[in-house]
Amino acid sequence: MRELGAISGACMLLVALCAASDDGVVRRAVPSDSLPVPLDRSVKLGAEELAEVDTASPEQVALGRRLFFEARLSKDASVACASCHQPVLAFADDRALSLGIDSQATRFNAPSLFNKGLSENLLWDGRAATLEAQVLLPIENPAEMGLGIPAALKFVAGNRDYAQAFVDAFGGRPTEERLAKALASFLRALVIADSPVDRFRAGEVSELSPEEQAGLWIYEGRGGCWRCHHGPNFSDEAFHNTGVGLEDGVLRPGRAEVTGELTDSGKFRTPGLRMLTKTAPYMHDGSFETLEEVVEFYRSGGRSNAYLSEKIRPLELSDRDVANLVAFLQALSR
């Protein structure tokens, strides 16, 4: 009977957290802030460079944190930044495409926000050069939060608590620059590192199992994964055409939509590899459900097209190699 009661309680919680819109799409409630207080902003093994870019005051980070979970920054007060970047999912989403206001699907899969302080040319197509530029785009986007910056500033300026928080953090009233700085400061404080992989590289060889070590050798050797996935974020922060999203021979514009260069067609930003066990589905379109699917895609050499990166080619990997490589990638999430 106790077990039945627990199951019933869990079902009631799910009902409370999810609601179907008129078109039948299930929406979730905006996640609550369950993060540690204060955030751990200490230097972490494998991401030491982030300490140099996280220079915001505690008040600025705290304000950005509140704004990140604030649904009233959306046009209908139904979604917040945290709706698409959920803390329990490593600040990603488990939908291929997240839902904005009016149950509209976003254009791209929502990636993790960890370690964004070291990222360049943000978003999958690199249309934002800085975090300050990036954080305002969802508020303006009519398919995401759709409120617009003027209305967002009117809201925070007219709210006594937020108005005071801006004074405490910046010494003055809310402005577009300060709104962007607050949100970006919070994102820079989201750091993940010190994984078994980082500790193994630092000399603690017992941190990785034999299978995970074998996966590392493939990653750095025959697999050639390091060519695009290196550095503290395990990303070269560049753009590559791998054939992901190719349908009936047609590429999505990708980076070309920003640069106007035809040769950038189908290029998307290299995602980081930390916390992968929490951030499925994968790729810019959320088209792969598992890490095994991702590795198989690269083992086959991607999908051929006119602008396929020269770094993408079929890999001679056994099934055991694939399993070991997946084990290594999973170790980046522990």
pTM of this structure: 0.91
* Average model confidence (pLDDT) across the chain: 92
pLDDT tens-digit map of 15-26 = 334 455 555 556
pLDDT tens-digit map of 251-289 = 999 999 999 999 999 999 999 999 999 999 999 999 999
Using 50, 70 and 90 to split pLDDT, how confident is the model at 12? Answer: very low
Domains 19-188 and 196-331 are alike in CATH topology: yes
Degrees (nearest 5) of the Cα angle 228, 231, 233?
90
Report residue 218 as tokens.
Answer: 């493939």
| β 267-269/239-241 pair status | antiparallel
Choose among 304, 236, 234: nearest CA to 266: 304
Instruction: Look at residue 44 in the predicted model and tell me its pLDDT.
Output: 95
Instruction: Look at residue 27 in the predicted model and tell me its pLDDT.
Output: 66
Using 50, 70 and 90 to split pLDDT, how confident is the model at 28? Answer: confident
User: In the predicted model, what is the mean pLDDT of residues 34-49?
Assistant: 93
- Are 240 and 228 in contact, with CB atoms under 8 Å apart? yes
> How many Cβ atoms are within 10 Å of 319's Cβ, its own excluded?
9
Using 50, 70 and 90 to split pLDDT, how confident is the model at 14? Answer: very low
Please write down the long-range contacts of 208-215, taking CB distance under 8 Å and 24 or more positions apart.
208/328, 208/331, 209/327, 211/323, 211/324, 211/327, 212/324, 212/327, 212/328, 212/330, 212/331, 213/328, 214/321, 214/324, 214/327, 214/328, 215/324, 215/325, 215/326, 215/327, 215/328, 215/329, 215/331
pLDDT tens-digit map of 153-174 = 999 999 999 999 999 999 999 9
- Are 81 and 263 in contact, with CB atoms under 8 Å apart? no
pLDDT tens-digit map of 206-242 = 999 999 999 999 999 999 999 999 999 999 999 999 9
> 């919680």: which residue's tokens?
13
* Rounded Cα distance, 216 and 325, in Å: 7
In the chain the beta strands, taken as DSSP E runs, fall at 18-20, 26-28, 239-241, 267-269
Choose among 82, 136, 125, 75: nearest CA to 101: 75
> Considering the chain, what percentage of its residues have pLDDT values greater than 70?
92
For the domain made up of 19-188, the CATH class stated in words is mainly alpha
Domain boundaries, the chain: 19-188, 196-331
* Rounded Cα distance, 98 and 145, in Å: 11
User: In the predicted model, what is the mean pLDDT of residues 108-128?
Assistant: 94
Instruction: Look at residue 120 in the predicted model and tell me its pLDDT.
Output: 80
Q: Can you name the residues that pair with 26 across neighbouring β-strands? A: 20
Using 50, 70 and 90 to split pLDDT, how confident is the model at 6? Answer: very low
pLDDT tens-digit map of 177-187 = 999 999 999 99
Structurally, at CATH architecture level, domain 196-331 sits in Orthogonal Bundle (1.10)
